[in-house]
Amino acid sequence: MSKAYQIARERYAALGIDTEKVLSQLQDFPLSMHCWQADDVAGFESAGDLTGGIQATGNYPGKARNIDELREDILKAKSLIPGTHRLNLHEIYGEFGGRKVDRDEVGPEHFEGWMQWSREHKTPLDFNSTSFSHPKSGNLSLSNPDKSIRGFWIEHTRRCRDIADAMGRNQGDPCIMNVWVHDGCKDLSVNHYLYRSLLKDSLDRIFAEKKDDMKDCIEGKVFGIGLESFTVGSHDFYTAYAAANGKIPTIDTGHYHPTESPADKVSALLQFVPELMLHVSRPVRWDSDHVTLMDDPTLELFAEIVRAGALERVHYGLDYFDGAINRTGAYVIGSRAAQKCMLRALLEPKDIIGRYELEGRTAEVLTYLEEAKAMPWGAVYDEFCERNGVPVGEAYLKEISDYEKKVTSKR
């Protein structure tokens, strides 16, 4: 135990916080690492462009080109991130063995290898249907008035639930499956009610079959590139759908108006929905998906979860994809930043602050919140790294650059 940690432990104990308990909570705080940071959301299905209102910018060398490289990168990143984590896959990351498997033909058999990998590396899997980057994507998928196109995407998403369910069984822990569709309009449009009724009907059909080993999440957003004027799956739409149907809303921190607070949604939504899924990202002016950092919005988001006593009701996915920087580095920086935000939330003297607040003593509230910022939480995070046998502080950089020299730069 380092001297710095011992001092930190005493300082927190004086505020009634047991850092040993916090360290064990942090140990049980799995991040669902998004496989798509490794290859800028390309996947292994085809060499087609990324479409569907999202974009990965940058051309940093060394992205993963196949399943082996992707797994290698994920394991490297995992070795530099303390704690135990999950892996979040998109359907386009299946093992298709060089064959053309269309999205309405996919099944659990294409993820057998992943499930085996999951067991070997004790890394539970989460899953996502993929409605972008496909000739049938267009502007509308699950809300498309064309019966055959809508049917195609319903079939795809149903099959994805079968895959997620198989993953959940395989790992003895529910697989969290996210549905995000880009559906929207580039320009002025008047058929909004129609599109939303079609999306609702599609979801009803997709979710009709009860599954025991997976959970459904639904993710809305403000707009997509090329679909700026209207989004079928808006937040109001999915919030209402989730509340009415007991589904899990996904809060992607990049999917709100710039001054809207994702953190403020936690205590509101959790009154009506069973759980939440997060897509932690860093929007710079828009849904730019920059690498997560320990910034104010992320600190506030995790603090709100802890304050709500909702640690176990939230699934912690990451969702950024920056093609402009070392991608292994992006995983490590973003994951460790998310952990630091959670750690600081767990170390907040919320009982003391909460009591003062109820007594109307605002100066005390502000004092404790303000002083918490300068408490020695960094020593607690370093101790967490030590105990998990991963590099402390910026020491991980050397491993990332060695890996770049030996592995990714040769791709």
Q: Which residues are catalytic?
A: 180, 219, 221, 252, 255, 279, 287, 289, 319
Q: What angle do CA 295, 216, 98 make, to 5 degrees?
A: 90
**Nearest distance in Å: CB 178, ligand RNT:** 6
Nearer of residues 90 and 196 to Zn ion, judged by Cβ: 90
DSSP output for 95-109: --TTS---TTT--GG
The Cα 340–Cα 293 span in angstroms is 9
Neighbouring-strand partners of residue 252: 279
Name the 3-class secondary structure at 131: coil
Candidate ranges 33-41, 58-66, 250-258, 344-352; the one touching Zn ion (CB under 5 A): 250-258
In this structure, what are the phi and psi dihedrals at residue 155, rounded to the nearest 5 degrees? -60, -45
Q: Is 279 in the site for Zn ion (CB under 5 A)?
A: yes
Nearer of residues 252 and 404 to Zn ion, judged by Cβ: 252
Nearer of residues 222 and 385 to Zn ion, judged by Cβ: 222
Q: Convert residues 319-358 into a mask of x (bound to Zn ion by CB under 5 A) and - (unbound).
A: x---------------------------------------
**Of 184, 277, 197, 293, nearest to 241 (Cα)?**
197
54 binds, among ligand RNT, Zn ion, none (CB under 5 to 8 A by kind): ligand RNT
Q: Is 180 in the site for ligand RNT (CB under 6 A)?
A: yes
The Cα 101–Cα 263 span in angstroms is 40
The Cα 410–Cα 124 span in angstroms is 30
Of the candidate residues 23, 35, 41, 333, the single one contacting ligand RNT (CB under 6 A): 41
In this structure, what are the phi and psi dihedrals at residue 64, rounded to the nearest 5 degrees? -65, 135
Q: Is 125 in the site for ligand RNT (CB under 6 A)?
A: no
41 binds, among Zn ion, ligand RNT, none (CB under 5 to 8 A by kind): ligand RNT
SS3 content of the chain, % helix, strand, coil (to 5): 45, 10, 40
Nearer of residues 19 and 128 to Zn ion, judged by Cβ: 128
DSSP code, position 215: E
**Which residues in 211-250 contact ligand RNT (CB under 6 A)?**
219, 221
The Cα 127–Cα 130 span in angstroms is 10
Nearer of residues 230 and 256 to Zn ion, judged by Cβ: 256
**Nearest distance in Å: CB 320, Zn ion:** 9
The Cα 180–Cα 227 span in angstroms is 14
Lookup: tokens for 248: 């899990």
**Nearest distance in Å: CB 36, ligand RNT:** 5
Q: Is 279 in the site for ligand RNT (CB under 6 A)?
A: yes
Candidate ranges 129-137, 276-284, 361-369, 391-399; the one touching Zn ion (CB under 5 A): 276-284
**Of 199, 197, 241, nearest to 217 (Cα)?**
241
Interacting residue ranges for Zn ion, rule: CB under 5 A: 252, 279, 319
Interacting residue ranges for ligand RNT, rule: CB under 6 A: 36, 41, 54, 128, 180, 219, 221, 252, 279, 287, 319
